[in-house]
Structures are given as C-alpha cells and as structure tokens.
C-alpha cells in the first residue's frame, strides 16, 4: 500500500457501494469520492493498494446533468453525507442500481425485480439523533471521511432543527468527553442528551431515556437503545407500494419510520391467527404493531436495555413476550408453530447460525429488513439455497444524502 497524492484525469463509469464513483487507472479500479457516474474529473489519488485505489474529485471537467450544488459547507470533509452533490431523484437511481447489482453479484438473484424506492417526502433535516465526536479544545463535530479526526460543525443539514439549536448551545463544551449524543422525539418534543452537562444547569441533560411516537404508539427509548432515526412526520399520501387495506384514509402525517413499519405489516399480511417472531426487535418497534394484528408475537433482542424498553412499551398487550438473547440462541428454543419471522439485523446481517436456525424453523414467510445490500444479498443466497424464494424486494430511502440503503424483502417457503 502506498499513500501517493497526485492528480489524474479519469472517466467515471458507475457508482461505488460507499458513495463513490468508479473509474479505472492503469488497470486498477479507482474509487473516487464526490464524483458521479458519467463525469470526467480531475482526481487526486489519496491511497493505492494492489488491486484498487482511492481518490477524490478535485475538479469536474465534464459534469453530470444530475450534479447539483451541495448546500452544506462541510460536505466533502464531513463523513456523514456522500450524495449532496447529486439531485435527489438521481440519488435514488444510484441506490437502485447498487442494490440490484449486489443482489445479482453476491446473492445470485438474477431474476428478482427490485421495486422503485419509496422516497422521503423531504430529503433534508430528518435525523432525530446525532453522535458527536470531541476535540481536546471541547469543539464538537463529525468524523472526517476516511480518518478518525473530528471536524467541528455548527449545523447539520440532515439533522432536525431542534437538535441543531442544541448543538449551538453545546458547541465548545465537550472538553474531556469522548462523544456527545443528542436524541429528539419529533412527535413528543422530548430530548435525550448524554452525558450530563452540569455546567449548564438551565438545560436538562443526562436523561436516561426519551419517548417517541410511531404509528400512534408511544415508545420509551433508553440512551443506549437503538431506534429509527427518521421519525419526522410530513403530510403525504401513502405510496402505492404500501397497500395497507386496513387504513381508510391514505393521506396523513407519516414519517419515513412510520412507512417502514407499515411496509413490514403490509408484507406480513396478518389475519389475526398468526404466531410471529420478531428477531432483532430492539425496543419493540415492529413487535407492538404486529401484536395488534397477530395472535401472538415473540420478540428476540440481545440488548438488555432494549428489552427493558420493549417490556415497558408493551404494557397493555397480553400477546407478546420478549426473549433476551442472541437470535441464534433463541430461535431453536421456540416451541410454537411459527407462521412468519421478521428479521431486522444490524449491518453485519445474520450470523450463519441464525440462517441455520431459520431453515430449521421453516416459517412459511420471512420479512427481512436490511440496511446493507451486501450482507442482505449474502443472507438471501443462503435462504434461497435452503428452500425459500424471494417474492418482493422493496427499498425505502431512510437516509437521504447518504449511501445507506434500507430494503424490505419478502420470502416464502417452497
């Protein structure tokens, strides 16, 4: 590996999986940050390895018609966003191409049709939480792309305005801290700020949890528990991809997290007689809504904090139980006849023992919620080899301006 830095002209051919554009240089694959497919750019080589190299576009010689001016002054340095230089419709086109290619190349799914993305109503100011790194000076910021350095920021274009107002109050006060987390309930107005800032007595900080509302249900979310980040409601009509026949009015205030939950419920097609397993259930995000429409639900989650939250959130429901364990440990212990399984793993996907347990369980339906196309494709290949078939692939854009891809895949047992 070398760390040469020099400029080359390069024709960019297609999208990379982490937000880059891909070209070739001297027989090597070249991943170019901040370029777009079809552009010719002047690229600064930043790192060369044996089979590929990394670069960044420092000048655009032939711009794409989809190129737009990024509104954020930190774009190009901050590692949070990769696509602010592309119009939103083209961002979805790129993500669709990446998802389709990953399913084909890694998953061997050559005949599967990827449905068009469900877009965000507004692709800015959607995040309900940020994790800020600190500098010795006390400045707060995000990590510079491809480094471990913190870039001080005073405003984030993809974060909800109330969090940005808090960021302005806390900026410069992070000395001695490793990270600062700010979380916000868009429908409750509650904040969680960790750690506590005792030098700001007029600002409540150090909260153990906050609350958020999803499809009318109230959720407690502790400081270390995961929750969906895109919970800001916008007035919109439900997309056609979500049939949801139980909803009389298809217009209303829905967040992207609401739509994701509705999409999962829609693909389960519950009649009220089913036993459903919700694996990697977190604080019960899907579990509780499934319980309203199924006979019985078993939530599996290894995080003790999340399980405690889920149990609180399930108050009043008598057809839910939670198992605090790894999914690969809990699945073989289930004795009920399971009609459907919901999977929502982290980006690493399902560990091999989870796939083995799923194939042994033989639930007639699996609804797989993924935030990483590569691990999704890997797991789908194994499930298909084990006797399942993919019947629907529906991506939904939970993270505009970034390379992250959320997908809901429905599988049926043969």
Say yes or no to pLDDT of 3 above 80.
no
CATH architecture of 129-222: Beta Barrel (2.40)
pLDDT at position 414, please?
A: 79
Average pLDDT over residues 98-110: 97
| pLDDT score for 70 | 97
- Cβ of 316: how many Cβ atoms within 10 Å? 8
> Encoding tokens for residue 330?
């809990």
Fold agreement (7-67, 92-122+237-413): no
At 146 the pLDDT is 84
How do beta strands 52-62 and 28-33 pair? Answer: parallel
Q: Model confidence over 50-67: pLDDT tens digits?
A: 889 999 999 999 999 999
Bridge partners (DSSP) listed for residue 118:
396
What is residue 344's DSSP assignment? -
Dihedral angle, C-alpha 351, 354, 359, 363, nearest 10 °: -130
- E strand segments, 209-289: 209-214, 217-222, 234-237, 251-254, 275-279
Taking the model in full, what pTM does it have? 0.95
Task: Please report, for residues 178, 182, 289, 306, the alpha-carbon distance to residue 223 in angstroms, rounded to integers and kept in the order given.
Answer: 16, 9, 23, 10
**CATH fold for the domain made of 92-122+237-413:** Rossmann fold (3.40.50)
Is a pLDDT exceeding 60 seen at residue 275? yes
pLDDT score for 27: 86
CA dist., res. 181 & res. 164, Å (int): 12
Classify 335 as helix, strand or coil: coil
Q: Is the dihedral of CA 159, 165, 170, 171 positive or negative?
A: positive
| pLDDT confidence of residue 389 | 97
Question: Domain extents for the chain?
Answer: 7-67, 92-122+237-413, 129-222
**What are 85-93's contacts with CB under 8 Å, separation 24+?**
85/34, 85/36, 86/36, 88/119, 88/123, 88/400, 90/36, 90/64, 90/66, 91/123, 91/397, 91/400, 91/401, 92/116, 92/117, 92/119, 92/397
Provide mean pLDDT across the span 167-186: 96
Residue 6: pLDDT band with limits 50, 70, 90: confident
Do 118 and 101 touch, CB atoms closer than 8 A? Answer: no
β-pair partners for 340: 276, 365
Mean pLDDT on 75-93 = 97
Strands 179-184 and 217-222: unpaired
Verify whether residue 156 is a known catalytic residue: no
**How much is the pLDDT for 169?**
95
- Nearest Cα neighbor of 228 from 251, 254, 204 is 254
Question: DSSP string spanning 279-302?
Answer: ET-TTTTTHHHHHTTSSEEEEEE-
Q: What is the DSSP string of 171-209?
A: TT--TT-SEEEEEE-TTT--EEEES--TT-TTS----SE
Residues above pLDDT 70, as percent of the chain: 99
CB neighbours of residue 201 within 10 Å: 8
Q: Which of 72, 81, 156, 371 is the catalytic position?
A: 371
Distance CA 172, CA 139 (A): 4
Q: What is the CATH number of domain 7-67?
A: 2.40.50.140
Residue 247 CA, chain-centre distance (Å), reads 26
Q: Average of pLDDT values for 165-183?
A: 96
Average pLDDT over residues 218-230: 97
pLDDT of residue 1: 44
Average the pLDDT over 352-367 and give the result. Answer: 98
Helix (H) or strand (E) run with residue 62 in it: strand 52-62
Closest CA to 129 of 19, 261, 231, 253: 231
What would the pLDDT profile of 22-49 be if each residue is shown by its tens digit? Answer: 999 888 999 999 999 999 999 999 888 8
Q: What is the mean pLDDT of the chain?
A: 96
Alpha-carbon 191 to chain mean position = 21
**pLDDT for 4:** 56
What pLDDT digit, counting tens, does each position of 128-155 carry?
999 999 999 999 999 998 888 999 999 9
Q: What is the distance between the terminal CA atoms of the chain, rounded to a whole angstrom?
A: 47
């Amino acid at each position: 590996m070398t760390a040469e830095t020099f400029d080359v002209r390069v024709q960019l051919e297609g999208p990379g999986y982490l937000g880059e554009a891909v070209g070739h240089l001297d027989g090597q694959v070249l991943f170019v940050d901040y370029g777009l497919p079809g552009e010719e750019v002047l690229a600064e080589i930043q790192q060369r390895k044996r089979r590929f190299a990394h670069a960044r576009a420092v000048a655009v010689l032939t711009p794409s018609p989809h190129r737009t001016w990024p509104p954020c002054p930190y774009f190009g340095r901050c590692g949070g966003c990769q696509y602010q230089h592309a119009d939103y419709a083209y961002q979805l086109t790129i993500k669709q191409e990446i998802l389709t290619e990953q399913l084909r190349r890694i998953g061997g799914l050559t005949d599967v049709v990827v449905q068009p993305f469900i877009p965000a109503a507004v692709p800015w100011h959607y995040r309900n939480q940020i994790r800020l790194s600190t500098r010795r000076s006390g400045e707060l910021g995000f990590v510079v792309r491809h480094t471990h350095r913190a870039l001080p920021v005073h405003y984030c274009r993809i974060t909800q305005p109330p969090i940005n107002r808090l960021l302005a109050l806390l900026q410069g006060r992070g000395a001695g801290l490793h990270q600062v987390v700010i979380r916000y309930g868009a429908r409750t107005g509650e904040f969680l700020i960790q750690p506590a800032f005792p030098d700001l007595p007029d600002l409540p900080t150090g909260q153990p949890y906050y609350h958020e509302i999803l499809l009318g249900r109230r959720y407690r979310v502790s400081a270390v528990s995961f929750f969906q980040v895109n919970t800001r409601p916008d007035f919109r009509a439900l997309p056609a991809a979500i049939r949801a026949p139980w909803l009389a009015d298809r217009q209303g205030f829905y967040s992207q997290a609401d739509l994701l939950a509705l999409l999962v419920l829609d693909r389960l097609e519950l009649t009220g007689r089913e036993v459903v397993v919700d694996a990697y259930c977190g604080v019960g995000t899907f579990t509780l809504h499934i319980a309203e429409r199924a006979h019985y639900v078993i939530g599996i989650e290894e995080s003790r904090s999340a399980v405690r939250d889920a149990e609180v959130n399930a108050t009043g429901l008598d057809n839910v139980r939670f198992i605090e364990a790894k999914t690969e440990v809990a699945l073989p212990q289930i004795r009920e006849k399971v009609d459907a399984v919901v999977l929502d793993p982290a980006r690493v996907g399902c560990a091999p023992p989870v796939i083995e347990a799923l194939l042994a369980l033989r639930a007639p339906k699996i609804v797989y919620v993924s935030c990483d196309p590569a691990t999704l494709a890997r797991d789908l290949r194994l499930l298909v080899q084990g006797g399942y078939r993919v019947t629907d692939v529906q991506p939904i854009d939970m993270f505009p301006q970034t390379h992250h891809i959320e997908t809901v895949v429905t599988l049926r047992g043969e």
